[in-house]
Amino acid sequence: MPEGKRVQEMFSGIAGKYDLLNHLLSGGMDFYWWWRMARASGAAKGKRLLDVAAGTGDSSIALARRGSEVISTDFTHAMLRLGPMKFRQKKLESHIWASSGADAQALPFRNAAFDGITICYGIRNVENRAKAYAEFLRVLKPGGQLTILEFSTPVIPGFRGLYTWYSLQVLPRIGAMISGDKSAYTYLPESIRGFPDQRNLAREMEAAGFKGVHWTNLTGGIVALHVGTKT
Ligand SMILES: C[S@@+](CC[C@H](N)C(=O)[O-])C[C@H]1O[C@@H](n2cnc3c(N)ncnc32)[C@H](O)[C@@H]1O
């Protein structure tokens, strides 16, 4: 089965439990990480942002809270369809539009349409990241910014061991228990381990053509925020 289809099926299977597991497994840190992402993204009134791999929309909510217009998009319909109810509950429905069917590697948007692109915990799942970066550059306006929020490599040695134990032993068990899908929460730590660390992700963004690439570690590097600009 193609990798993209496998990822879609996995997220379709856990969509209903995704939010609960996010909050539980991160100990509530997920809200803080989205808040930092939104602050770094340049989201503000008058800015039009594309939130790629937006899932159930919490990343888009963090952006809209700063007054920007957000297109919330994902290629898994079962995830994306859960967003609009939350947007209405938070009275942000006039700021966020959910647009389904958009694969990060072939975005259905015109050139230079957005002031910023964000992708939170999504780039790790994209099969061909070079293709996605090329699409991000195409739909960004000159001067527009790509902001990536992604699990990364903890930078504090003792803490790294503890985190590895948690992600390999505790997280898959809780994930399987609640979602009923053992493989999805085994895949999570495996995909994090197979993903470039902070420096290598920055190099990858530079190689794709982004300028001024830099990153910030959050919570000891469990997640990192990478930012790069289209010139
Ligand atoms: C871990 S969820 C993240 C959702 C949301 N951004 C958040 O912060 O909670 C990852 C999402 O990436 C989406 N995804 C993975 N690969 C994708 C691709 N190639 N194009 C579009 N979406 C993709 C999945 O469907 C899933 O909803």
Q: Is residue 143 part of a domain?
A: yes
Is the CB–ligand 1 distance for residue 126 below 6 Å? yes
Asked whether the beta carbons of 121 and 53 are under 8 A apart, the reply is yes
Reported as a pLDDT band with limits 50, 70 and 90, residue 181 is confident
Q: Is residue 113 part of a domain?
A: yes
Identify the residue whose tokens are 């996605």.
Answer: 132
pLDDT per residue as tens digits for the range 86-100: 999 999 999 999 998
> Whole domain around residue 77: which residue ranges?
3-154+197-229
Q: Is residue 19 part of a domain?
A: yes
Angle CA(153)–CA(138)–CA(40) in degrees, nearest 5?
A: 40
Is the CB–ligand 1 distance for residue 55 below 6 Å? yes
3-class SS at 182? coil
β-pairing verdict for 211-218 and 140-151: unpaired
pLDDT per residue as tens digits for the range 74-89: 999 999 999 999 999 9
| Cβ partners under 8 Å of residue 219, min gap 6 | 29, 33
How far is Cα 140 from Cα 204, in angstroms, rounded to an integer? 18
pLDDT per residue as tens digits for the range 138-155: 999 999 999 999 999 999
Q: Is residue 135 part of a domain?
A: yes
Percent of all residues in the chain with a pLDDT value above 90, rounded to a whole number: 88
Output the pLDDT for position 201.
98
Q: Is residue 188 part of a domain?
A: no
3-class SS at 210? coil
| Cβ partners under 8 Å of residue 122, min gap 6 | 52, 53, 54, 55, 74, 104, 150
Reported as a pLDDT band with limits 50, 70 and 90, residue 3 is confident
Q: Is residue 177 part of a domain?
A: no
> Average pLDDT, whole number, for the chain?
95
Reported as a pLDDT band with limits 50, 70 and 90, residue 53 is very high
* Total domains present in the chain: 1
Q: Is residue 12 part of a domain?
A: yes
Output the pLDDT for position 9.
94
Specify the CATH number for the domain of residue 98: 3.40.50.150
Is the CB–ligand 1 distance for residue 103 below 6 Å? yes
Q: Is residue 26 part of a domain?
A: yes
**Pocket mutation for ligand 1, best pick of 5, 9, 10, 11 (most atoms within 8 Å of C-beta):** 11
**182: pLDDT strictly greater than 90:** no
Mean pLDDT over residues 115-129, rounded?
97
The order of strands in the sheet holding 48-52 is: 96-100, 69-74, 48-52, 114-120, 140-151, 223-229, 211-218
Phi, psi for residue 117 in degrees, rounded to 5:
-125, 140
